[in-house]
Amino acid sequence: MELYSGYISRLIGELSVLPGIGNKSAQRLAFHIINMPKEKVENLANAMTEARENIKYCRECFTLTDNEICPVCKDASRDHTQIMVVENTRDMTAYEKTGKYSGVYHVLHGAINPSLGVGPNDIKLPDLIRRLQAGEVSEVIIATNSSIEGETTAMYISKLIKPTGIKVTRIASGVPVGGELENIDEITLSRALDARVEI
């Protein structure tokens, strides 16, 4: 027997596919949305639709933005000779919160994972190599996650870049193995950045 009407069940079903949202959380969110003023619900729906339609990749670093170039890449006071390579925009945001990094980024949008059929050309790795060929970069900091996929990606990037003479470093320990950067506190991230090592 179906507990809720079709509209409520559909809303719960749509919310439950979001990451980190189980059935109980989806139910709570659904009832919260249903009890919100109609104008607030419309604003929420419009914000989601407009974000999906207007957000794209930054032309330089491939983070998510609604402009051709993101604010970090556009900032002339940043050190454009230093690129930190991260797996996703959330990792970039985590490092920005530390306030300790003044270079620019390159967002891969994933990591090499042969078991899932994700190779170097399936992430934004060829775009990183194109950026490096411009000849302005002196250091690449690899800040992929400390997972098997993150480590595999880091080693692959290091082997690609080392022959060019560009300095390649990896964020230091302090970031736990298997840890996701977006969930790590700013102090730990700062220490990992400060204690990075050449690889």
Domain spanning 6-54, CATH architecture: Orthogonal Bundle (1.10)
Domain spanning 64-198, CATH architecture: 3-Layer(aba) Sandwich (3.40)
- pTM (global) more than 0.75: yes
Neighbour-count burial of 102, counting CB atoms closer than 10 A to its CB (0-12 exposed, 13-18 middle, 19+ buried): exposed
pLDDT tens for each residue of 152-191:
999 999 999 999 999 999 987 666 666 677 777 776 777 6
pLDDT value at 38 more than 70 = yes
pLDDT tens for each residue of 102-142:
999 999 999 999 999 999 999 999 999 999 998 889 999 99
> What are the structural domain ranges in the chain?
6-54, 64-198
| 6-54 and 64-198 in the same fold | no
Neighbour-count burial of 146, counting CB atoms closer than 10 A to its CB (0-12 exposed, 13-18 middle, 19+ buried): buried
pLDDT above 90: percentage of residues in the chain:
69
